[in-house]
């Protein structure tokens, strides 16, 4: 039996196994889930050993642990592939909107539903099961494998960068591959050559020393919620451009050539409106939806709170108002600099009636990847084998912080070989993974390894 056949005949068993991984609530942002993080790392290590890896260990960091595994059985002549994935997931809220509970994986139709199934546990699993298929048939994969699975991707990979810097030799490889993104349609695969970066800040606007009776003081005390709302409203102009001074200064303009290429990517506006549920699109004038969501920077309010939000009415002027703001960045914007520009601007426009404090939560640099390389060609052929079609090259609006770290610290241009779909609902209720993509993903990974091994021989 070939590894391809083995994977094909074990698909359902793989899904059952994946379910037990998904049952572990490994939410990285909330300390209440620390035990979930620990158990997910433990299970991953165990499964790596069962898949044939010679070495698999849990390496502690200052934050959540890294799971590292190695299988160098293909010999010195064969290339070494570094596989990255993340075992942490986003918080499952709002819970009441899930049709089945987030940590009780359920198959409905062609989809498996669970928090983290597409982002990234199910995608990471394609590599694990490809390895197992090689182990059970040929005894070893055609390439040497190193796996780096982290537990902090959803909170900015803060401790991964120092880990990689300190373990350059351990992680040395010829090719890096990351499956943590999506293709366009089941019949239209895609490889990413760009990701946006991120700068995330939280701000607090303070007014009175404590909540005040809105009858006794209203009219003479500036309400911090109003001040915050006005400041937030001032961050975009009427057409959707960001007004923070200097924000666009380092944005690398799109070349005509790239714009033409991006315009050739199939895009169905009606399907997009349906997927998002919005009545119509919005955003920076002069750019297409694809450009605005992948190659132009953004500023978004993620949440805003303060005062009374419980049942019924309460008459107060609240002491404080809060907001969480994220900015998606493109080359050559730098997260620290952009966060600083925003915080300075907020101070500058704050009325004298309130005080404003801001803090930076995390960031990720934007990334562009070389589009033409033997690894990209191998990936393209692998998709053709797995999905029946050559992939399109495109940019994405999300962020994967490790991409730039791989480029800078390891000199590797990672291949962003995703298997999700745009409507998987990652970070949202009812997150799902299209099972045919899971199966084809395993086939694609197997074909990728073979193509790489052939290339080097």
Note the residues at the interface with ligand BES (CB under 6 A). Answer: 119-120, 153-154, 156, 180-182, 198, 364, 396, 398-401
- For ligand BES, which is the closer residue by CB, 288 or 298? 298
Q: What does DSSP assign to residue 252?
A: P
- For ligand BES, which is the closer residue by CB, 222 or 427? 427
DSSP-H helix ranges across 142-187:
160-166, 168-171
| Active-site hit among 70, 88, 409, 450 | 88
CB of 440 to Zn ion, least distance (A): 21
Beta-carbon contacts of 53 under 8 Å, excluding residues fewer than 6 positions away, are 69, 70, 71, 131, 145, 147
Residue with the shortest CB distance to ligand BES: 398
- For ligand BES, which is the closer residue by CB, 228 or 400? 400
Quote the distance between the C-alpha of residue 189 and its chain's center.
18
- For ligand BES, which is the closer residue by CB, 140 or 440? 440
Among 119, 291, 396, 431, binds Zn ion (CB under 5 A): 119
CA separation for the pair 283, 281 (Å, rounded): 7
- 34-50 vs 122-137: helix crossing angle, rounded to 10: 20
Question: How many residues contact Zn ion, by CB under 5 A?
Answer: 1
- Examine the residue annotation and report whether 281 is marked as an active-site residue of this protein: no
CA-wise closest residue to 25 among 43, 37, 14, 42 = 37
**Among Zn ion, ligand BES, none, residue 132 binds (CB under 5-8 Å by kind):** none
**Among ligand BES, Zn ion, none, residue 28 binds (CB under 5-8 Å by kind):** none
**Among ligand BES, Zn ion, none, residue 79 binds (CB under 5-8 Å by kind):** none
- How many other C-beta atoms can be found within 10 angstroms of the C-beta atom of residue 76? 7
CB of 129 to ligand BES, least distance (A): 19
- Examine the residue annotation and report whether 88 is marked as an active-site residue of this protein: yes
CB of 261 to Zn ion, least distance (A): 26
- For ligand BES, which is the closer residue by CB, 117 or 346? 117
DSSP structure string for 23-83: TS--BSS-GGGHHHHHHHHHHHHHHHHHTT-SEEEEE--SSSPEEEEEE-TT-TTS-EEEE
CA separation for the pair 63, 60 (Å, rounded): 8
CB of 400 to Zn ion, least distance (A): 9
- The catalytic residue positions are 88, 153
């Amino acid at each position: 039996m070939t590894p391809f056949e083995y994977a094909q005949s074990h698909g359902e068993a793989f899904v059952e196994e994946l379910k037990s991984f998904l049952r572990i609530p490994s939410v990285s942002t909330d300390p209440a889930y620390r035990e979930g993080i620990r158990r997910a790392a433990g299970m991953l290590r165990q499964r790596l050993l069962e898949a044939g890896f010679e070495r698999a260990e849990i390496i502690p960091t200052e934050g959540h642990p890294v799971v590292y595994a190695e299988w160098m059985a293909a010999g010195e002549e064969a290339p070494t592939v570094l596989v990255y994935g993340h075992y942490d997931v986003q918080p499952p809220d709002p819970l009441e909107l899930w049709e089945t509970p987030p940590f009780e994986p359920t198959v409905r139709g062609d989809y498996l539903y669970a928090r983290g199934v597409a982002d990234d546990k199910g995608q990471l699993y394609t590599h694990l099961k490809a390895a197992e298929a090689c182990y059970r048939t040929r005894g070893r994969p055609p390439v040497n494998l190193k796996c780096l699975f982290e537990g902090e991707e959803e909170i900015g990979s803060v401790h991964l960068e120092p880990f990689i810097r300190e373990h350059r030799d351990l992680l040395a490889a010829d090719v890096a591959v990351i499956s943590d993104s999506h293709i366009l349609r089941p019949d239209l695969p895609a490889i990413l050559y760009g990701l946006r970066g991120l700068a995330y800040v939280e701000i607090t606007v303070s007014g009175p020393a404590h909540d005040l009776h809105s009858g006794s003081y209203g009219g003479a005390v500036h309400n911090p919620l109003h001040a915050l709302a006005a400041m937030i409203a001032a961050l975009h102009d009427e057409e959707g451009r960001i007004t923070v001074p200097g924000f666009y200064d380092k944005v690398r303009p799109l070349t005509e050539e790239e714009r033409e290429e991006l315009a050739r990517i199939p895009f169905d506006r009606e399907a997009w409106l349906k997927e998002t549920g919005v009545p119509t699109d919005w955003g920076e004038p002069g750019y297409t939806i694809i450009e605005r969501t992948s190659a132009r920077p953004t500023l978004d309010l993620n949440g805003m709170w303060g005062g009374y939000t419980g049942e019924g009415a309460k008459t107060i002027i609240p002491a404080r108002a809060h907001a969480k703001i994220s900015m998606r960045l493109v080359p050559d914007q730098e997260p620290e600099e952009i966060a600083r520009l925003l915080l300075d601007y907020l101070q500058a426009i704050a009325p004298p009636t309130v005080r404003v404090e801001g803090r930076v939560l995390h960031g990720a640099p934007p990334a562009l990847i070389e589009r033409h390389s033997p690894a990209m060609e191998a990936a393209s052929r692998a998709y053709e084998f797995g999905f029946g079609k050559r992939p399109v090259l495109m940019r994405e609006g999300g962020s994967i912080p490790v991409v730039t770290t791989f480029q800078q610290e390891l000199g590797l241009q990672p291949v962003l070989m995703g298997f999700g779909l745009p409507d998987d609902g990652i970070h949202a209720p009812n997150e799902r993974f299209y099972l045919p993509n899971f199966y084809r993903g395993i086939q694609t990974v197997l074909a990728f390894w073979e193509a790489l091994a052939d290339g080097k021989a």
